[in-house]
Structure 1
Amino acid sequence: MKRAWMLPILLVFAGSAGATGLVLTGSTAVAVVTLVFFLLLAGTHSPLVFPRPVGALEAERRSAADGRPVVYWRPGCQYCLRLRLRLGRDARRVHWVDIWRDPDGAAVVRAANQGDETVPTVVVAGRAHTNPDPAWVREQLTG
């Protein structure tokens, strides 16, 4: 779990340090903008942006029951964030597995990607798709 929060924490510290330096030089307005930018950046790279993750075994069980895709992801991945943002509200209908929290999920991703932990990996009907187009994932929810 610590690994998932490393980048957001570093971004908060970097933004705070930069803003402090700017305040000390008298640039309060620029300091506020800098701090807000880094806080937003930290927020988008945190696990909070994604729906609550489930374990790989639970996601596979749920997917078998309702036919919805399983998305294997990790915090800090720009392609995972792109998929999440492009899905919008539909993201709640997908089963999300954080491979940094779930070793079984990481194993599924490695098996689908010749040993690499390439995410997002989306599994639909037992078939893995690495970094698919978000529009295609949305189609899988309606189809």
Structure 2
Amino acid sequence: MTRVWLPPLLLVLCGAALAAELARDGGPAQATVVLLVFLLLAAANSPLIFPKSVKAREAQRRSAADGRPVVYWRPGCAYCVRLRLRLGRRARRLHWVDIRRDPAGAVVVRAANGGDETVPTVVVAGRAHTNPDPDWVRRQLAGAP
């Protein structure tokens, strides 16, 4: 759990320290901008922007029942953030598995990627696709009930 929040926490702390230094030197506007940038980076690297994660076994069960894809991801992954943001509100229809919180999910990802934990790995109808185009994922979701 701590590992998931460490990068965003470090971004907030570094941003606050840099903003404090800029404010002390007489640049409150610059300090505000720097702090906002670091806060946005922290939010993008946190699990907050992702729908609630489920365990791999539960995601596979749900996917078998409703035909929706399963997305294996981890916080701090720029490609996962890109996929999440490009999917927009549709992302809530997918089943998300955080491989840092679920070792079984990490095993699925390693099996699909030759031993590497490359994410996002999207599983559609039992077939894994590594870092697929968000438009392709959107089309796969459109075909699911």
TM-score (norm 1): 0.99
Structure 1 partner of 2:120:
120
Aligned pairs for 1:35-54 within 5 A: 35-54=35-54
Structure 2 partner of 1:2:
2
Task: Report % sequence identity.
Answer: 71
CA distance in 1, matches of 2:94, 2:42: 23
Structure 1 partner of 2:11:
11
CA distance in 1, matches of 2:142, 2:23: 51
Structure 1 partner of 2:64:
64
- What is the CA distance between 1:73 and its match in structure 2? 0.1
Matched, 1:30 2:41: no
1:112-132 Cα deviation digits (max 9, x unpaired): 000000000000000000000
1:12-34 Cα deviation digits (max 9, x unpaired): 00100000101111111110111
Matched, 1:73 2:36: no
TM-score (norm 2): 0.97
Q: How many residues align?
A: 143
Residue ranges of structure 2 left out of the alignment (5+ in a row): none
CA distance in 1, matches of 2:120, 2:138: 14
CA distance in 2, matches of 1:29, 1:142: 45
> RMSD across aligned C-alpha pairs, in angstroms?
0.5
Aligned pairs for 1:85-104 within 5 A: 85-104=85-104
CA distance in 2, matches of 1:131, 1:29: 39
Residue ranges of structure 1 left out of the alignment (5+ in a row): none
